[in-house]
Structure formats: structure tokens, C-alpha cells
A and B are shown apart, each in its own frame.
Chain A
Amino acid sequence: MSPRPYVRKIQRSWWLHHPRYVVYMIRELTCLFVGLYCAMLVVGLVRLAQGQAAWDAFLAALCSPLVVILQLVCLVFAIYHSVTWFALTPKAMPLMIKDEPVPGSVIVGAHYVGWAAVSIVVLIAAGM
């Protein structure tokens, strides 16, 4: 080993140096908006427990333009998060059936089918 190996410090802006790191950081950023929406749901539960008046006020607040825009932004980030995560599922959950690997497209497709099924159940439940 040399007497003085040179150590390069990683810069704070490391994630701006390559498009793949920018894409990664956007995916990480989506968690803030997903978390924000979860917090909104928790507030809804608390308001529900406080009675009819509190619940109605909460529903009215959800319909204000600012909150609608916020929900749309959350939706966009949640979709980005879900789509990029589904695309990675064949790596995290590879399947073998009778010594043959299941194609990645089937694994990703199954996640979209599951997403659609859950959405339908939620929509039916919400309509009841």
C-alpha cells in the first residue's frame, strides 16, 4: 500500500451527478407524499371517532380546492411509487415453477391485477 492513499469525499450533490440517482431520489421523495396522505387518513379516523359533526367537518375540509390539489399531488406520487415498485418486484420476488423461472412480466402483471382487484373492492365498499 502506498504511504498516502488519496480518499475522495462524497459530495452532498452526489445524486445530481447521474440520471439514475436522480430517478432514485424522486422515488425516495414519493414516501413523503404517501406518508402525508396516510396522516390525512389517520386524522379522518380521529375525526370519525369524535362524532358526526366532526366527521362532516372533515369531509367538507377534504373538498376545499387546496386539499383537493394536495390529494391529486399525493395521487401522482403514489402512482409513481407503485409503478416503479411493481417494476422491481421480479427482482425481489422471483418465482420458480417446476424448475422454470416465471417470466418477470407475469410477476409484474399479477401485481397490477391485484391492484385492480383491491381497487374494485374498495370502490364497491365505498359505494355501499
Chain B
Amino acid sequence: MSSSTSSSRDPASHRRFVLLSLSFLLLAVGLNFLLCEVFARKVIWPRKCFQLLELQRDGRTFRTVSLGTSHTAVMNFDYPGLFNFGLSRTFPSIMYFKMKYLAKAAPNVRTLLLEADTHLFYGLAAHCDKYQHSVYIDEDVDPSLGNHPRGSKGEFLSLKEEIAPTVYKQMAMSLHRLLTSGKNSSEKTARSAETEDVSEDVRWDLLPREVREQTAISRLKHFSLYDYEPMNPLLVEYYEKTIRMALNQGMRVIFIRYPLTNEFLAHHNPQIEDEVSAFLGALSKKYGIPLLDYRKVFVDRQDLFSNQDHCNGEGKKVLRERILADLRGLGVSMVSAAAGEGSPDGPQNP
């Protein structure tokens, strides 16, 4: 077949072509599947469950934990006693299961920084079936809250919906990391790549105004925050259950509302905003929970956002300092249990 003298009428060359093509295709598809499966198992799954691994390794040293969605990524910093348990789509039902897990894996936690952003309580929140959360789920959830799958390493990971679409992109990103920052990329990079804090150095303010507006509106619609709809009572119930569990564990709960861009704030449904504020106010009063509200802290610093509701690297740094100062003001310390053993408020971190 590869001979230049083979004729187009030679049946043997056509037969060889068919057999070779189909055999190679079968081989390529098989190899591709194996490669993806190995990659998914060795790289993607551990990354998606990096919080589980951290909890298993250092759980007893954590004193302060932030819990919420990708907005909590600002708390990804190297304070030994602080653990960011937030991840994309950690909506109240998932929060509840994470809280249960936390109570077992990190018994020394004293403070819970609980996200209190509006999108936790509406539409999309009911469909929080991301694979990386499934490892924490140990009982059935109310079916109306969506199907929360339970993870298992024994499954074909690369074919799972939550992993499959990202397999090749993850491969590209791994290759990119390998080429740009050496063979062993740091855990921090891997972690930030998985938390959907979209990018460290992207600047929202560089986008044209109409694109920012469109993006903000589309995101608000995505989270059912553009047109009015009532809060999901089951999500509200799970949120309160999470608070009660934390308080029963002897934790101090603090609400945090993370910064938003001007466009996001401008197009946010005001009725929803009022409803959530009233709900949080009632919870604060009922359980004595303070609220740190950072929604409008960057009204004049739009360069600190990477998209409509996430800070970029610089924004995280600035906000982090502010949160730390406010937490100190509330008498909270982030010192690890190991570093400040025996004292609930050990020495401050550097």
C-alpha cells in the first residue's frame, strides 16, 4: 500500500488500507481511553479532591475554616491554621455535608467563615452535582435539591460527565504548567487552577463596558438573580442546619459577603438583595452571628476583579489583608492548633 507503484485498482492495497485503518483506529481509541483514564485518576481526581487530601493530612491543625463557593478563594493563603473549604458550587446542601465531614476531620476548628452571598439561595443552587463534592456526601439528600452523586475511585473517571469535558483541557494546562514552571508544579498552582477563581492576573476593567455589562447580566441570569424569584426554602433550611451544626461543634460563625463588580451590583435584582439581607439579619439576630460585608469595598477598584464576581490575584491580596484586620478586630486568630496548642487565641500570625 505504501509503495508508490501500487495501483488504485489493486484490491490488495485497498484491503490493506481498510484493515490497517480500522486496526489502528481501534488501537488509537483504546490507547486514548487508557491515557485519559490514567490521567483522570492520577491527576484530575486528586486535584478535584485536594481539599479532602488536605483535611486528611492536616485536619487537626486547622483553627479557622472558610466555607462557601469559589468566592472563598481569597482565603487561599499560607496561614497554617486556616483552611479554605470553599469550592465552586458549594451551595447550602453541600455546605451541610462538608460541615459534617469537617466536624470529624478537623475537631479543633474554632471559627467558621461562612459565605453569605445571594447566589447560594436561588435557582441554580439546587443543581449542585459537581463531582468533587460527592466524596463528602454520606446520605441521601432531598431529591428536590438535585442529584448529589457519591464518588468512588473504582469508576471510570474519564467518562464521568464532571471530568470528561475537562480531560483534554486539563492535559493542555498540565502541559502548559510543565513547560512554564518546571516538572513539579506547586500544589498551590494546582489548587488555584481547580477552584474556579478564574485567573490571577486577568483584569475586569480592561474589558469594554458593554462586554462587562453583558457578562454581569448573563451571570446574574445564570444564578437566577436577575428576575425575581423566591428563595429556595430547602437551601435556606440546609444553610441554617449548617450554622446549627457549627455552633453545636463549639465554633464561632461569621458571615462573609464577598466583593462584587459595579456592573454586577447595578443589575442585581434589588428585591432579591433585600430578601437575602433580611434573611441574614434574622439569622444574625437569632444566633448572634456577625456579618463582614465586602460587597462594595472595591467600587472604585474595578481593576481588582478578574470577572464579575471574583477577585484577581491583586484583589485577593488586598481583600485578604482587610479580612484579616477585621477578624482580628473580632478577636479571631488564624493560628494553627499545632503552633498555638492549648490556647484558643494563640499568638498572631506574621
Question: Are A and B part of the same complex?
Answer: no
